[in-house]
Structure 1
Amino acid sequence: MQDFSDFFQECDNGPRLNELTGFFSDTAAGKSGFPSRKPAVDMRLLPNDDLLHRLIQLHSRRQGFFDQHYHASIPYRLEEECRMAHALLRYSQMRSGDLQFYSLGTAEGTMARVVSEMSGGKIQSLACSPNEENYKCFMAFGEPLGASFFLGPFHRLTKEHLRSTADLAHFADGFDIILEDTTFQMYSPNRLAQIEFVSQHLKPGGILLFLEKFRAADPLDYQAREEQKNLGFKAHYFGADEIARKTELVLNTMHECEVSLTEMAEAIYAQFDHCLVTWNSGNFYGLAASNDGDNLGRYLAAMMQPAIPVEYVYEPRPYCDLASWMRRRRLPT
């Protein structure tokens, strides 16, 4: 068995569990960082689909405090979450048995809960967060069918813990799909070890999804996209003082744990044969990786087109193969 003790210590010492603890606790409790109005899906960007519409309605009813802060902070992230949930539901319908889905570090785990509810428990989901406030939001609507919650940081959910915990033991054989949602960037820039650790939980041929904020090759490009996000989107939900407060309190610290797309690709391809871009919003990108190209293709085929105005989308665009993009651009890290 591989020794991850150094990795565990690195995570324990990371910003998420130390200097950022107060921010995450207060935001998850609704004490600070709450938007002036609740974000709502822009239906003009999405197709007329009955399953999608029902999903959006349930997702809106299940959101907690942190979700509303999060979706008010990243342009069209709410639309993307609903798009991903819709793809998971469609993908699960192609399968004969249950689908095990792990959404790590995603606050109150709204998307995980919603897909389990809507699938009637066919999607067995697990969400995790180290904040008790997020767990309370997760349980606010009663114990959901097919959805579980691990109260702790992602690196403390080991294979041994899954095997020894009665209500999580059905996940011990691994997950079909895992989503890392802006989690790694809160701990360290060590994507190689982070991906290696999480990949242990993936079944052979499974799919690992990432959604992260990445450093740009040119710092001026990075800053321009940040200003676009703040002035063109966040200003609809937060005042200038609150945007500046979060930048000082969180984003400057988080930036030290961000990596470039090139660095991320190198860490992904150390574990996986295939990786494609699935979404982009300014400095944020969604990626999907797997060692089974056919299985990855089935998931991608279940996805609708990204629901985001074109002015927020940069290179590499969906559905660009990340390895081909690296060879073509030869970008420095």
Structure 2
Amino acid sequence: MEKERYRKIRERTLQSYNRNSLFWKHFSDLSGGIKQVPSAIPTGNVNYLSNHNYLLDYHDLFQRNMGTFYQHFVASIPFLVEEKCRIGVSIYRLAQHLVKEKDNYITFLETGVGDGANGRTMAEFSKGLIRTLSTTNTVYSKNNFYRLCNHEYSKLHHGSFINITPEYITSQQDLSFFSNGFNIIYENVTFPFYGSEREDLIDYVARLLKKDGLMIFLEKLRHPDESEYRKREKIKDDQYKAKYFSDSEIKEKRSDLLEVIERGQVDFESLTDAIKKHFKYVYLIWNSTNFYEFVGSNNELIVSKFIELLPPIYVPSPFCAESNLPRNL
């Protein structure tokens, strides 16, 4: 019965994927640097990074690991560079806390987002204490992944995250790191491009998670007040993206992506309700304009330790619309 349910979720998700073929062509063009290449690569705020252990060193490695798509990605979301460093360092420190035996490690899966700079940096920075698996839909990002990866601790699946199943992992010899499941899964602005059925998608992916694992969700959310949503979009475009893209490129991106992205977006309440159906402990840990990040777990001790290890967020006003972060939901 359960196997049949997952089969149906997979079929429906792949149908959505195939309907968006023009969108994936757009993603491929971004990954290949064919269009919308940022005029500069965003760097993190040095004062912020210098005030917290490991962040500055992690940031420098992250910068070196970014391929063409990831450079576009961090130029599109305000202060995402600082957040990727904050999350990466916190996962590294959590791994140090969890791993007590020599030659052991924790495992990390991220769904989508190009060349896997996020996962590759965690694995390289931790010297294999974190083993990572990333997914990408484009050949350009696949090539960038292998061009930039200089270690054996990170793996890539060229294809949709929906292909990553327990059966697939056990069938692939080079994925033996992950045969017992993942300590951390990161949904990296992925689900909206496959539809709005969050409960099903979370269920499909979370079966790969170890019982005491964490699942992190980064998504762009709808807002009940359309004018507030548009206001935040304007702040993002005018005060951040304009530093890296021309007016025509920003307008082109809106027209290329708006219908697909907004069709699959959900609001804050819908996403948190879906997360809570799977996880007992849920925290909001970050916000930048219409982008939100959450963490969920069924292990109170581990999620509390992760929250304890998180440095403060770096999202200056007026980009952050939330207060008291992180907070329990």
Per the normalisation by structure 2, the TM-score is 0.94
Corresponding residue SS for 2:83: helix
1:216-237: per-residue Cα shift (whole Å, max 9, x none)?
Answer: 1111110100001000100111
1:223 maps to what in 2? 230
Return the offset for 1:9.
2.0
2:68 maps to what in 1? 65
1:227-282: per-residue Cα shift (whole Å, max 9, x none)?
Answer: 01000100111111110101010123211100011001111111110100000001
Contact 2:55 2:85 in 1 (8 A): yes
Unpaired runs of 5+ residues, structure 2, are none
2:244 maps to what in 1? 237
Contact 1:100 1:175 in 2 (8 A): yes
* Corresponding residue to 1:169 among 156, 172, 176: 176
1:326 maps to what in 2? none
Q: Across the two proteins, how many residue pairs are aligned to each other?
A: 322
Return the offset for 1:133.
1.3
Distance in 1 (CA, whole Å) between partners of 2:25 and 2:39 is 21
Query: 2:93 aligned with 1:90, yes or no?
Result: yes
Query: 2:34 aligned with 1:31, yes or no?
Result: yes
One-letter identity of the residue aligned with 1:260: D
Distance in 2 (CA, whole Å) between partners of 1:80 and 1:315 is 15
* Corresponding residue to 1:9 among 8, 11, 34: 11
Unpaired runs of 5+ residues, structure 1, are 323-333
Return the offset for 1:143.
4.4
Return the offset for 1:46.
3.0
Contact 1:45 1:308 in 2 (8 A): no
Contact 1:274 1:291 in 2 (8 A): yes
Corresponding residue SS for 2:76: coil
Distance in 2 (CA, whole Å) between partners of 1:317 and 1:65 is 34
RMSD, aligned CA: 1.4
Distance in 2 (CA, whole Å) between partners of 1:106 and 1:49 is 26
One-letter identity of the residue aligned with 2:298: N
Corresponding residue SS for 1:140: helix
Corresponding residue SS for 2:147: coil
Query: 2:294 aligned with 1:287, yes or no?
Result: yes
Distance in 2 (CA, whole Å) between partners of 1:52 and 1:171 is 27
Distance in 1 (CA, whole Å) between partners of 2:50 and 2:12 is 44
Distance in 1 (CA, whole Å) between partners of 2:48 and 2:177 is 38
1:141-182: per-residue Cα shift (whole Å, max 9, x none)?
Answer: 344231111111000111100001000122121100110010
Alignment of 1:297-312 (within 5 A): 297-312=304-319
One-letter identity of the residue aligned with 2:71: Q
Distance in 2 (CA, whole Å) between partners of 1:30 and 1:104 is 21
* Corresponding residue to 1:149 among 131, 145, 156: 156
Distance in 1 (CA, whole Å) between partners of 2:136 and 2:312 is 29
Distance in 2 (CA, whole Å) between partners of 1:305 and 1:50 is 12
Distance in 2 (CA, whole Å) between partners of 1:132 and 1:157 is 18
One-letter identity of the residue aligned with 1:277: L
Distance in 1 (CA, whole Å) between partners of 2:323 and 2:204 is 27
Return the offset for 1:78.
1.1
Query: 2:211 aligned with 1:204, yes or no?
Result: yes
Alignment of 1:38-187 (within 5 A): 38-49=41-52, 51-95=54-98, 96=100, 97-187=104-194
Contact 1:72 1:237 in 2 (8 A): yes
1:329 maps to what in 2? none
Corresponding residue SS for 1:108: coil
1:281-333: per-residue Cα shift (whole Å, max 9, x none)?
Answer: 011011000011111011111110001103211136522222xxxxxxxxxxx
Alpha-carbon spacing, 1:227–1:142, altered in 2? closer, same or farther (3 Å) = closer
Alpha-carbon spacing, 1:158–1:240, altered in 2? closer, same or farther (3 Å) = same
Distance in 1 (CA, whole Å) between partners of 2:45 and 2:175 is 36
Contact 1:280 1:317 in 2 (8 A): no
Contact 2:131 2:177 in 1 (8 A): no
One-letter identity of the residue aligned with 1:8: R
2:21 maps to what in 1? 18
Return the offset for 1:44.
2.7
Alignment of 1:309-328 (within 5 A): 309-315=316-322, 317-322=324-329
Contact 1:214 1:261 in 2 (8 A): yes
Per the normalisation by structure 1, the TM-score is 0.93
